[in-house]
Structures are given as C-alpha cells and as structure tokens.
Amino acid sequence: FRAMAEVDVTPLQPIVLLTCAWFLLYMQALQLAGSANHVLRSVPEAQRRWSDRTFGNMHEQSVPFLVGLWLFALFVSPARATRLGAAWLGLRCLYPVVYLIMEGPPMAVTLPMYGILLWMYVC
C-alpha cells in the first residue's frame, strides 16, 4: 500500500462551522413550521403560510447551498467560500423577518441567495 499524503484541513474549519450554523438554522425553521402547522391549530392562516414558506424555502435551497459551499471550498477557495457561505446564511436569517415585513415572498432576500449559489457553481 502506498502511504497517503497528509492533507491540512485547517482552512476548512470555517466551512465546518458554517455547516453547523446551517444545521441549527434548519432545525429552527423546521420547529417553526411544525409548531405553527401541527401544534397550534389556532394560528392564523397568514402565520401558517409564513412558517411554511420559511421552512420550505430553507429546505429547497439547502442541498444546493451545502453542495456548492463544499465544492467551492475544496476546489476554489476556502476563504472565499467562507465569505459566500456567511453571506448566504445571513440572508437566510433575514428571510422570515423580511417575509413578515413585506407580507409575502421576500425577493430582496431570495434573489441574492440565488446569486450566491450561482456564483459558487460557475466559478
């Protein structure tokens, strides 16, 4: 057997932390949707739709985000992937707030997130 070369994974530590932050945010969105739809039947329809879309959009974009984040970090730049991933997660945190303010889908948040994902894949 050939000896395996050592690989320094230190530059990927921020990517691991972003992945953990994504997981916490995902679980929060899941709880939000679950409580509004299954536990609190007296919740108004608008609030139920808000919680559904908050989780639904998070769920829809999660696989493209995580795959893009890791591919970009491994093949382009861990430092740039960290900045892009942090920006995406920051926008993701704003999604439910902006949805409430705009009383509907927050394209001002969604479109930049799509742009970040696109950038990760075309670089």
Contacts of 103 (CB under 8 A, 6+ apart): 46
CA–CA dist 44, 25 (Å, integer):
24
| pLDDT for res 1 | 64
User: Average pLDDT in the 7-30 region?
Assistant: 96
| pLDDT for res 2 | 75
CA–CA dist 116, 81 (Å, integer):
10
Cβ atoms of 33 and 40 closer than 8 Å:
no
Q: What is the enclosing helix (H) or strand (E) of 88?
A: helix 78-102
| pLDDT for res 115 | 98
User: Average pLDDT in the 72-79 region?
Assistant: 98
User: Average pLDDT in the 3-29 region?
Assistant: 94
User: Average pLDDT in the 60-76 region?
Assistant: 98
Tokens 């075309």, located at residue: 122
- Considering the entire predicted model, what is its pTM? 0.88
pLDDT at 29 over 70: yes
| pLDDT digits 0-9 by tens, 30-62 | 988 776 666 666 777 788 888 888 999 999 999
pLDDT at 20 over 90: yes
| HSE, side-chain direction, 13 A CA sphere, residue 79 | 0
| pLDDT for res 22 | 98
CA–CA dist 97, 119 (Å, integer):
25
